Amino acid sequence: MNKTDFIDAVNTVKGNRLMSAETETSLAPFKEFPIPFDLEFISSTKTFGAQGGAVYSGGYSVICCIKNEDLELQVLI
């Protein structure tokens, strides 16, 4: 698992407009493998509800892009 594999998987999910369960299945192999990215901050908001699980309750949702890629991500912290 590397950056290119992850970006390809995200682009496939995005391009095929997969439902959330399909997206979860497609991206599940990457959960256990940390992949470092150089991110550029776009914006942040307070995370509401149980988005991403209780561990993120009271946290923030940060929108960023991967440097030198045409891809925006939401990172929960």
Give yes or no: residues 48 and 69 share one domain.
yes
Nearby residues of 37 by Cβ (< 8 Å), 6 or more positions away = 3, 66, 67
Answering whether pTM is above 0.75, one says: no
- Local confidence band at 47 (pLDDT 50, 70, 90 cut-offs): confident
The domain in which residue 13 lies consists of 1-36
pLDDT reported for residue 49? 67
**Parallel, antiparallel or unpaired: strands 60-66 and 72-76:** antiparallel
Model pLDDT, residue 52? 67
d(CA 67, CA 6): 14
Q: Are residues 22 and 50 in the same domain?
A: no
Q: Are residues 58 and 28 in the same domain?
A: no
pLDDT at 63: 96
Burial class of residue 23, CB neighbours in 10 A (0-12, 13-18, 19+): middle
Mean pLDDT of all residues in 11-38: 90
How much is the average pLDDT of 13-38?
Answer: 89
In this structure, the answer to whether residues 43 and 76 fall within a common structural domain is yes
> In terms of domains, do 26 and 41 share one?
no
Looking at the structure of the chain, the number of domains it has is 2
